Amino acid sequence: MESGIIRTEYSELMQKSYIDYAMSVIIARALPDVRDGLKPVQRRTLYDMYELGIRYDKPYRKSARIVGDTMGKYHPHGDSSIYEALVVMAQDFKKGLPLVDGHGNFGSIEGDGAAAMRYTEARLQKITQEAYLADLDKDVVDFVPNFDETEKEPLVLPVKVPNLLVNGAEGIAVGMATSIPPHNLGETIDGVIAYMKNPDITTEEMMRYVKGPDFPTGGIVANKDELLSIYETGMGKIKVRGKVEIEKGKGGKERLVITEIPYTMIGANIGKFLNDIYSLVESKKTADIVDITNQSSKEGIRIVLDLKKGANVEELENLLYKKTKLEDTFGVNMLSVADGRPETMGLIPIIRHHVNFQYEIATRKYRTLLAKEKEKKEIQEGLIAACDVIDLIIEILRGSKNIKDARACLTNGVTEPIAFKSKTSERMAKQLHFTERQTGAILDMHLYRLIGLEIEALMKEHEETLKRIAQYEDILSNRTSMAKVIIKELQAFQKEYARPRRTAIDNLKEAVVTEKAIEERDVVFLMDRFGYAKTIDPSVYERNKETADAENRYIFTCKNTDKIAIFTNRGLLHLLKVMDLPYGKFRDKGTPIDNISNYDSKEERFLYVCSLEQLAERRVLFATGHAMLKQVDGKEFVVAKKTTAATKLGEGDELLLAAALDGNETIVMRSKKEMFLRIACETIPEKKKMAAGVRGMKLDGDDELQAVYLLSEGEEQTAEVKGKEIVLNRLHIGNRDTKGVRK
């Protein structure tokens, strides 16, 4: 038993297993093959549709049937991944060249999902059948066993157009990702032909043909000069803008109409774009937009912004480019599987791999065709020769006892078992040497083939066969001839399926937005006990002071350019801009703090709210449930982050008090066992914000602080203990880190 145990280092085993898993995800799932530009799930789905006979000229079939058959035969990774791949291949707003013809709800550009697979139907597109799946019966690619070795599937599809560039690719593997933009079919074919004519072509020269990405959603590539570097290295960032048109409205007003969107805005980002415009209006970044309507339909994108009279259109356009997704970045990483391993390639290497693949499949195709024509030639020559001695062949057949004797005579001239009418016939029969294939064709020949016209047709067919053999041999032996055939086929696809470019390529100036200087003024911050906050003018507050003081928990004056600091029991500091708070009428409800900051009302509670500008000039006192105390310089909380740790808390500890100090305060610590200790704040040392602090009170056993009271000089506070009121200001001031007194 001991000898059957293999001992190995655990780290080595984990490393090997993880590498195997990573390579499986990279090669067999997430990345496309450079030759056909398809991921395994896409390749298997298309091949299954081809095998099921769901052709472009045949009726649609249920998507559920396609998905089930693909999963059962070739792709055992769950139906959702197969259906998602099928849906994307049918969406003309995602693919430059849709490969599947979808019937039913296959989703929308605005992010609506496709209907369930039991409702939708699909079939192959014509180009998919002609340029992606043709010639599979001519041994042009290798076939491998499927996952359970009950079927055969192609290792790669014999795709005749540069699909990796035409349709692009997106995929996240383990430790790497691919992001290839789609390109124009006609331009890409021109690029392939140019490379075939001049393999030493440079990237700059190639870009005369392949000018840049051509997104299905149109738009404008704004950094034309950077494309050369991107196509040389296979990596970079493409700036994409939506297309904006200006239309005249009623009463001399104008409106901005967005007719094309960046490719990155497809889906939920359209909704986010509209929300971003609403935010610009609400935050008063622009006052030129009167109304927003999304009039998009199947005919295309149409988002209309109605503007007020005299609006600065150019400035508004720049604001949209700068502050919304109307200008976005498409990250390019042209990573694909080449020769069995992932590789990042530029434009020329991708085209080189594609052209080499075209030569390979053309070589295999014409070898297969040549073999078939040579076989046909052999049979035709046998039949022609048989017509010249047809009387002898009939005599042999009539004199034979069985088919075996007749076959032996025709093939090897064996005449012994056959009864001939004359010795001359027997001598002639001994000279017959037809091949096995010719003999089979002669024995299967119908008598009508002896008609004169049929013999002429056979002779003509033989001549055609000889021409094809010469043509195929020329193609196989002469690379120039093969190149002409490939180019001719590419040009035929280009003529039938190429469409005009949708995306404009240009060098555009970066959008510049001049922020209007905010007029600094005093405002009064109000927040009620439910966390609704707002700001009002100081004069409004003075007129409603009594009501405001009664209804609100936090009230203080601050600048409209300031930030509000919110300390919570979890030891966090949340910052929010005063400008983000609604400003206006006293009776307005305000906005929940949760909506404009990272504060979570379900997990946290307020301890202290103040102006950050005023906080920076003071020291902040912290006290926790474990009786840890410290003072922190308020300047440490002037940070850019919206949320930061205000103090360090031990395990199970909670912040009980956070407050800015003026100078002569005392604090009273009250434990759950009703022990009280009053100390002067000046005895508490100043620490950094992430320091734990010092112990303020000795606690017995499992006792901890219940509350901490901050007492200002001259202010009287009381606390109720066992039904009695205690005046905290009258407690004796003791020493820090003592037990205190029981009440």
| DSSP for residue 697 | B
What residues contact residue 511 under an 8 Å CB cut-off, 6+ apart? 317, 318, 319, 321, 322, 327
Could you tell me which of 392, 413, 481, 407 has the C-alpha nearest to residue 444? 407
d(CA 100, CA 86): 7
Residue 450 structure tokens: 């002896």
d(CA 711, CA 394): 129
Task: Give the C-alpha distances (Å, rounded to integers) separating 588 from 280, 531, 557, 577, 591.
Answer: 21, 14, 18, 19, 9
Residue 545 structure tokens: 């002071």
Interhelix angle 436-444/403-412, nearest 10 degrees: 130
d(CA 314, CA 302): 19
Could you tell me which of 663, 703, 699 has the C-alpha nearest to residue 684? 663
Is 47 catalytic? The answer is no
* Tokens 């007003």 belong to residue: 253
Q: With left for phi above 0 and alpha for psi between -120 and 50, is residue 531 left, alpha or beta?
A: left
CB 678 within 8 Å of CB 666: yes
Beta strands 335-338; 341-344: pairing state: antiparallel
CB 368 within 8 Å of CB 138: yes
d(CA 605, CA 669): 20
By the 10 Å C-beta count (0-12 exposed, 13-18 middle, 19+ buried), 317 is classed as: middle
Beta strands 606-611; 563-568: pairing state: antiparallel
* Tokens 């035929």 belong to residue: 492
Of the residues 119, 209, 278, 599, which is catalytic?
Answer: 119
Q: Name the strands in the sheet holding 643-645, side by side, starting at the edge strand that comes first in the sequence.
A: 606-611, 563-568, 572-577, 643-645
Beta strands 619-624; 628-633: pairing state: antiparallel
d(CA 351, CA 188): 9
Phi and psi angles of residue 657, each rounded to the nearest 5 degrees, phi first? -145, 135
d(CA 40, CA 28): 6
d(CA 566, CA 576): 8
CB 608 within 8 Å of CB 658: yes
| DSSP for residue 132 | I
The catalytic site residues sit at 119
